[in-house]
Chain A
Amino acid sequence: MSQLSLPLYEIFIRSKRGLDHRHVGSLHAEDPAQALEYARDVYLRRSEGVSIWVVKSSDITASQESDVESFYDPMDDKPYRHATHYKLPKEVDNM
């Protein structure tokens, strides 16, 4: 069987307890258990992490960068959502 027909898995590694899992890459595998083992072999050879998540790529629904304006609207017109928008006198500015 060619590798291309194997489903693709996205790999997430938690580098240290307390931190979020971070996306590190992807790989092909027959099933989630095998993806875990492959991920261990590919991404954790130098104790890069303490926990692995594998997620079938086809299960991920993603937005597109080209959607930004119509979908997220980066809210650049809403500066009041930022703490720096509120000017306080320097005596009380360490809030």
Chain B
Amino acid sequence: MTQSSAPTDPRLAAFEAKIANDDRIEPKDWMPDAFRKNVLRQMSQHAHSEVIGMQPEGNWITRAPSLYRKVVLLAKIQDEAGHGLYLYSAAETLGTSRDEMVKALHEGRAKYASIFNYPSLTWADIGMIGWLVDGAAIVNQVSLQRTSYGPYSRAMIRICKEESFHQRQGYEAVMTLARGSEEQKAMAQDSLNRWWWPSMMMFGPHDSESAHSGQSMKWKLKRESNDALRQRFVDQTVPQADFIGLKIPDPDLKWNDQRGHYDFGEIDWEEFKQVIAGNGPCNRQRLQHHIRAQQDGQWVRDAMHAYELKRKAREAA
């Protein structure tokens, strides 16, 4: 991590020593601007993903097949809102505000996970999101528990603990369909066909193509590479699919005895780019809905603020 040119700033040297020592960087520490920018981008993207991710699931609350499935789904979505809050608060330790982050999202300057631009068309999709999308997210988040920015790391630890039920409920819902009628099984298979590749894309571009990966790895903001995490996801998910008799839609998928891992086919990177660029099936709808929800809730915040002013005035009187 030593830079041979430029006289070394002692603050930079101290920062790099902490990173090298596997210490966490805490909010009041000096940090290079590029580090601050990088960790902020990552946390803002993560926070927005938690919040936007409520939309495809919210789509099925009123149509859940039973009261039981409905309360489970509500509990899960409630968790996601909380996770967004943890992450926005952690990001605010870097001197930005939630308002600024939300504004950046609305103006298209901030991103969220591309997976949430796919529609949830059937009930099976809700199970599939828990199993695959949360499954992939957990692989990533477990690794991020050791990220070098303290508040981010602590948020990840809390989130992983709460999220353990999300994947299990999803798999259990998919398993129920896969063991049901022919129609239910077909619905589960169709859902897997649609969600598999977008889930694989959640880990981002290949390491060689990833814009931020190299620097993030050096700073230990990321602890494992995109490709390594993706491989772990494949290795854990294939046996789960086999167990309930669903087929992963990848003709190149097969166990490689030599590597001790599954080999798998290439992701359609053109689709990935298109969805990131705003041209996925639901990009506009997701953003418009978020903006509308923000506007529709304004009167509540106004009313609470007016009440607080009134209360203070009464106290002063």
Contact = CB atoms under 8 A, between A and B. Distances in A.
Interface of A: 14, 17-20, 51, 78, 80-83, 85-89, 91-92, 95
A92 B171 contact: yes
B167 interface: yes
Given A20-B154, A95-B240, 18 more contacts: A17-B18, A17-B24, A17-B26, A18-B150, A78-B75, A80-B72, A80-B165, A81-B75, A81-B79, A81-B165, A85-B165, A86-B168, A91-B239, A91-B243, A92-B240, A92-B243, A95-B167, A95-B168
Nearest to A18: B24
A17 B21 CA distance: 11
Contacts, number: 53
Contacts of B28: 51
B226 interface: no
Contacts of A19: 154
B56 to A, nearest CB: 20
A43 to B, nearest CB: 18
Contacts of A91: 239, 243
A17 B23 contact: yes
Interface in B155-204: 164-165, 167-169, 171-172, 175
A12 to B, nearest CB: 13
A90 to B, nearest CB: 10
B79 to A, nearest CB: 8
Contact of B168 (A17, A18, A20, A88): A88
B23 A86 contact: no
B233 to A, nearest CB: 12
A24 B18 CA distance: 26
Nearest to B154: A20
B243 A18 contact: no
